[in-house]
A and B are shown apart, each in its own frame.
Chain A
Amino acid sequence: MVRPNFPVRLGAAEEALINQLKFAGADQAAERITVAGLPTRRVESYHYTDLKTLLRAVPPMAQPANQVDVPALDLPGSYNLTIVNGVASQQGTAPAGVTVGTVRGGVLTTRDDTLIHINNGLVREAMSLDIAPGVDQIIQIARRIEGVAAHVADALKIFVADGATATIVETFTGSDAAHVGNHATYLALGKDAVVTHVTVDLSGRDTSHFATNEYHLADGAKLRTLIIHAGSDLARTHLYPRMAGQGAHADVTGLNLVSEGQHADITMETNHAVPNTSSQPLFKSITRGRSKAVVQGKLVVARDAQKTDAKFMHQGLMLSDDAEILSKPELEIYADDVVCGHGSTCGKLDEDSLFYLLSRGIPKAEAETMLVRGFIAELVDPIENEALAEALNGIIDTWLLAGK
């Protein structure tokens, strides 16, 4: 943690957070913010998302909401759970092999990260899910912030048993108010487990959405994630995949969709801790109007994690001249027998492809949409569940059409 030599001037947001943390008995987290304040661009992982500037106010902690209708993706046969204003509830009986429960306290591993400290400090009870082999329903967790502007910290801990297969979808929505959501997901994959984890931020524009996802992969586990930012004006998802067992593989993917005035950030730090693991992070950003998309991706390969195969890629597409795409791919490698790489590109739609379509009589708007869909296809296509892929394409289309 960066400790400045001079006292940090605390803003209203920081004062509010300190009080809320103290009230929750999280003195250490409160102390941390008192000393360092919210992270600024001087903190490497917040280099392009300076919370001290971006987060000016933090509303009071959320009160439990009355029964509300929580929107979720239309996925036939999915088993749906909700967390509204931090309160978890279960609808109907869980399918065989799924155990829903609670665990005390926060779920995230303590790290040098302010949002994690806040989440761990404020969460009293987290929802837990245990998934055994043989579950073929999609499990959907819809988190929502209801009512007047509120600060919510909630958490979810998921264990997918050895050899089990699971598709887990999380959505984030809320009423139209200046909420601050600080969401945590801890997902552990047992040996040879195969998991698809999709999260979609569809919160109202005034909401500031923060999510931290931690993944722990045992031997032979396979993970695919897709993080979509398509809602809040300020969205940040921080991913920590840990390849803890030999033969583990992760396809960590994400998509920033930002329009005029929005700021979305996907930051990833993958840790290859043991030999023979692989990961293929792939992120895309599409910007419209004056907006900002951030992707940071760090691959850390430990000293004895020989034979690691990791390729990070970020592609940015600018649909306007005045957007910003900021990218920081990092490699931190201590093992010598590895193949690691990263790539980052950004530019606008390929003029030649556009010309090709136009010359075949396709109207410009439609041609552009086709090309953008093609650009995104790489992320949605690998998702095997058709209904889920269709629902995600629907969200992307809605975003695309909103710009027309």
Chain B
Amino acid sequence: MTDYGIPTLKEEIDRETVEQVLALDVDKYKYGFESDIESDVAPVGLTEDTVRMISAKKDEPQWMLDWRLEAFRRWQTMEEPNWAKVHYPKIDFQAISYYSAPKSFKGPKSLDEVDPELLATYAKLGIPLKEQAILAGVEGAAESVGTPFGANVAVDAVFDSVSVVTTFREELAKQGIIFCSISEAVREHPELVQQYLGTVVPVTDNYYATLNSAVFTDGSFVYIPKGVRCPMELSTYFRINEKKTGQFERTLIIADDDSYVSYLEGCTAPMRDEHQLHAAVVELVALDNAEIKYSTVQNWYPGDKNGKGGIYNFVTKRGDCRGVNSHISWTQVETGSAITWKYPSCILRGDGSRGEFYSIAISNGYQQVDSGTKMIHLGKNTSSRIISKGIAAGFSDNTYRGQVSAHAKAKNARNFTQCDSLLIGDKCGAHTVPYIESRNGTAVFEHEATTSKISDDQMFYCQARGLSEEEAVALIVNGFVRDVLQHLPMEFMVETQKLISISLEGSVG
């Protein structure tokens, strides 16, 4: 730079080159932009004061603060787990900021009051937040149709540490459905939150869940009353924007007797050289005859092609089929994150309850995935089904880790598990680690796993019909994961198919 702040010729060229290279990368991860939004960021570091500060920012009642502090004290005595097949430098939990909110954010408000810059961010991500316009059928308002978040979806938008807006609340409230951010729920529906929070994932469940319990900032809260079938898909969209922050969100979904809800979750983050931590806790409670369908398309920034940057995604997701004949179904498409450590599980407590897990986990570059599920059969006549498809390309490692267990009282428990892995290239790894524990003579468990590569015959067949190598791989992979895709809501299917081709781009050869 010259003394007058004008860039020299050399600097100009460098900048251009850098931008061009960056542009190439952005092509692959299209959500990698950063929004220029002034934020209110807490100083880095984690002490009891941080916990108190978050609680105060959220205007929380005393019981919530006490709950957080208890979690924080427990967390300090715990050790980071190291059993997963993922490797990363030790995380410095004191180098992260635990709260970041857009400066314009002054608590929940109506759509018209939301910072236009924020709305623009979501528009760019294809998330429809213009409910009035959509409801009125204004042309162009539903521009995001065809993206995962189509027109008829209520969205809770979480930006860094806060929920900035929740759409369609009034519509839903007419049926008695509560859909709001968890911070609001703590204030407005404390009885529900107190009754259910931490009952599925106990405060001290694991290292990251305990950390989350202490410092969680926002997330969604859903309550579906008895006998109500939620008329639209509910969803949360998580966006990390600020640097050097961690995102710790908490979601709690309660489906009362005979109700139904389908819930979608999406997430993205800007591209940065540093790693960012995302440690969420999701709790689902299904009471008698209730059904919860939870779908995730996880697309956090995976890091660049040299493995630099990316999100560490350490998530605890668990559903409790508490009532008789209740039903929880997890569907996940995992394509992002530098490291994924995630095991959406079902506790099949109610007699006759059902748990399902459908997963596609794709890893490329230097991504590491250690994901799977747990099906804990406690009640009689419970059944579960696991379909997991792992695809490893590049230098990545992709592990399925799952547990199926039937307790002594779980008469006639039934499980079917199928996990298949596909390897693309010879620098990646695919691993399967299932724990199958039957403590009951009437339980019937079947587990099957295979690993293979795309056969030359299949490739030849496709290429002979004029498909390029990459197109052929994408087509075959789409066929490989079809069992899982079928269980995704319509809007997600389209997006997922696109994601699969993005994730695998450059993996051939």
Contact = CB atoms under 8 A, between A and B. Distances in A.
Interface of A: 5, 44, 47-48, 303, 306, 316, 318-348
Contact of B449 (A44, A326, A341): A341
Given A326-B436, A332-B431, A343 B421 contact: no
B452 A339 contact: yes
B441 A333 contact: no
A339 B449 CA distance: 11
A327 B438 CA distance: 8
B486 interface: no
A336 B423 contact: yes
11 contacts: A44-B83, A47-B435, A322-B408, A322-B439, A326-B435, A329-B436, A341-B448, A341-B449, A342-B448, A344-B436, A344-B445
B426 A326 contact: no
B466 to A, nearest CB: 25
Contact of A331 (B83, B441, B446, B451): B451
Contacts of B439: 322-324
A321 B451 contact: no
Nearest to B436: A327
B437 interface: yes
A333 B436 contact: no
Nearest to A325: B438
A346 B430 contact: no
A214 B504 CA distance: 40
Interface residues of B, number: 35
B258 to A, nearest CB: 33
SS of A interface (majority): strand
Interface centre among A5, A303, A325 (most CB of B within 10 A): A325
A328 B421 contact: no
Contacts of A327: 435-437, 447
A346 B445 contact: yes
B450 A336 contact: no
Contact of A324 (B423, B438, B444): B438
Interface string B420-433: 01011111111111
Given A303-B426, A340-B451, A345-B447, A330 B433 contact: yes
B443 interface: yes
Interface string B386-425: 0000000000000000000000100000000000010111
A354 to B, nearest CB: 14
Nearest to A342: B449
A321 B440 contact: yes
B434 A341 contact: no
B79 interface: yes
A236 to B, nearest CB: 17
A328 B429 CA distance: 19
A329 B426 contact: no
A342 B433 CA distance: 10
Interface string B72-106: 00000001000100000000000000000000000
B480 to A, nearest CB: 14
A321 B411 CA distance: 9
B451 A348 contact: no
B448 A319 contact: no
A48 B449 CA distance: 21
A105 to B, nearest CB: 33
Contacts of B428: 334, 336
A306 B432 CA distance: 18
A337 B442 contact: no
Contacts of B448: 341-343
A330 B83 CA distance: 14
A48 B430 CA distance: 24
Q: Which 5 A-B pairs have the closest CB atoms?
A: A336-B423, A321-B441, A318-B441, A347-B444, A341-B450
Contacts of A318: 438, 440-441
A345 B431 CA distance: 19
A182 to B, nearest CB: 27
Given A303-B426, A319-B441, A347-B444, A341 B436 contact: no
A245 B436 CA distance: 32
A330 B444 contact: no
B76 to A, nearest CB: 14
B441 A336 contact: no
B305 interface: no
B15 interface: no
Given A318-B441, A327-B436, A348-B441, A340 B431 contact: no
A322 B441 contact: yes
B430 A331 contact: yes
Contacts of A303: 426-427
Given A322-B408, A336-B423, A338-B452, 5 more contacts: A5-B79, A303-B427, A335-B426, A344-B447, A346-B436
A345 B416 CA distance: 9
B441 A330 contact: no
Contacts of A316: 438
B388 to A, nearest CB: 12
Contacts of A321: 440-442
Contact of B431 (A324, A328, A333, A346): A333
